[in-house]
Amino acid sequence: MSPQQSADTTETAAPISNAQRITNLDTVRGIATLGILVMNSVSFGLPAPAYFNLSFAGSDNWLDWVVGIAGEIFIDQKTMALFSMLFGAGIVVFADRAEAKGRRPVGLSLWRNALLLVIGLIHSEIWVGDILVVYAVCSPALLLMRKRSARTLFVAGGVCFAISALALTITQLSIDPATDLGQYWADENVPMSDIVGVMFILGFGGRALGAMLIGVGLFRSEIIQGQRPAAYYRKMARIGFGIGLPLSILGVIIHSVNGWSGDVALIGAVPNVLATLPLALGYLAVIALWNQRPETRWHERIRAVGRMALTNYLTQTLLGLLVLDGLFEFGSLGRSQIFVFIVAVWVLQVAWSEPWLRHFRFGPFEWVWRVATYRRLQPIRR
């Protein structure tokens, strides 16, 4: 390698300076990383059907039901959608910056996400709820679409969500709930039928891809960066919550009045799927408004959580399995007790992320990913 090539590579691989960072992306990513733990912890500590069926396990008293219903209305799918939007925006940021520095953005991005696939596959061996594999698999589609108009990206993302809702409806009408739902809804020891399995993969992957495409559109529209006026975000929040909350509540009502029966297991989830996008956009607007306020230590700490999102996401799994499936007997805790664990992890991650980044340029897993991406050692200490 010539000295000039070495210099070019070093420049391209150099970490983003604080002046170059888009703080709203870090803030949204931090909130999404903390929020995604709420639903993931259900999988860490309770049998598989309890994730979708609140009556299956973990709802032993009124407080458990309050926690479970609140999670269903405000968190389920919504924070994952935020997380996915940020991943979509991150694809664009990485590719645009690589292109500006003279690198091949598509080739480097594909290599970077191939490494993410490896991380995700390792993670999925530890815990079945991994999302990184889905992100890595969807990344070529994002690279292909990243220069499309925001309108096209919004339409494509919306279609993905519509397909997910349609798949739920068609599958509900096509199955025998007593025999087909299995570990999805009724019995952790019975596999779901093939048609339910296909619906699950199509719905889960479709929503993730849809949110990522919308994230790219939001980046191209300079919405997710928090650069629009405050009045824009206030209106966005009103519309998002005004549409999303009634839909999300409707889904819980459908399940509740039917006694969490398998007869409405899938079709009762349709309102929540449709609520996901408007509520995620409502959260995005509120976060952008908060990010525009005068700087505080809380801003710095939440952004630090977002800058270490990969490390924090993976350590959530390690802590969840260690505590909820190790220290305590799996399935023995109620939802309100699991929420105590969630708050403890929030405190821990908010406490450690900002001090870590005062001394180091990247989180531990971010550093490993970066070294493998550029295939050369990167300085980690500040």
pLDDT, tens only, 244-293 = 999 999 999 999 999 999 999 999 999 999 999 999 999 999 999 999 99
What pLDDT, on the 0 to 100 scale, is given for residue 17? 46
Residue of higher predicted confidence among 8 and 52: 52
* Res. 101 pLDDT band, cuts 50 70 90: confident
Neighbours of 238 (CB within 10 A): 12
Indicate the burial class of 372 (C-beta count within 10 angstroms; 0-12, 13-18, 19 or more).
middle
What pLDDT, on the 0 to 100 scale, is given for residue 103? 86
What mean pLDDT value characterizes the chain? Answer: 93
What pLDDT, on the 0 to 100 scale, is given for residue 102? 84
- Domain span at residue 45 reads 21-374
> From CA 89, how far away is CA 97, in angstroms rounded?
12
CA distances from 214 to 16, 270, 277, 289 (A): 24, 20, 9, 20
Structural domains counted in the chain: 1
The percentage of the chain sitting over the pLDDT mark of 70, rounded to a whole number, equals 95
Question: Would 314 be classed as within a structural domain?
Answer: yes
pLDDT digits (tens, 9 = 90+) for 129-161: 999 999 999 999 999 999 999 999 999 999 999
Question: Would 126 be classed as within a structural domain?
Answer: yes
Question: Would 5 be classed as within a structural domain?
Answer: no
pLDDT at 3 over 80: no
DSSP state string for 192-228: PPHHHHHHHHHHHHHHHHHHHHHHHHHHHTTTTTT-S
Question: Would 11 be classed as within a structural domain?
Answer: no
> Three-class SS of residue 14?
coil
The stretch 38-62 carries a mean pLDDT of: 97
Instruction: List helix spans (H) across 46-77.
Output: 62-70
Question: Would 381 be classed as within a structural domain?
Answer: no
The stretch 38-64 carries a mean pLDDT of: 97
What pLDDT, on the 0 to 100 scale, is given for residue 22? 83
What pLDDT, on the 0 to 100 scale, is given for residue 2? 37
What pLDDT, on the 0 to 100 scale, is given for residue 10? 39
> From CA 217, how far away is CA 360, in angstroms rounded?
32
Question: Would 195 be classed as within a structural domain?
Answer: yes
| Tokens coding 15 | 């970490």
> Among candidates 163, 164, 142, which has minimal Cα distance to 153?
142
Neighbours of 327 (CB within 10 A): 9
The stretch 177-186 carries a mean pLDDT of: 96
DSSP state string for 111-134: HHHHHHHHHHHHHHHH-TT--HHH
Question: Would 8 be classed as within a structural domain?
Answer: no
Radius of gyration of the chain from Cα atoms? 21
Question: Would 201 be classed as within a structural domain?
Answer: yes
Which region, left, alpha or beta, applies to residue 294 given φ > 0 means left and ψ of -120 to 50 means alpha? beta
pLDDT digits (tens, 9 = 90+) for 52-80: 999 999 999 999 999 999 999 999 999 99
> Among candidates 147, 47, 157, 31, which has minimal Cα distance to 82?
31
* Res. 19 pLDDT band, cuts 50 70 90: very low
Task: Judge contact between 42 and 58, C-beta under 8 A.
Answer: yes
CA distances from 168 to 156, 162, 210, 251, 341 (A): 19, 10, 16, 13, 32
> From CA 8, how far away is CA 58, in angstroms rounded?
55
The stretch 20-38 carries a mean pLDDT of: 91
The stretch 191-215 carries a mean pLDDT of: 95
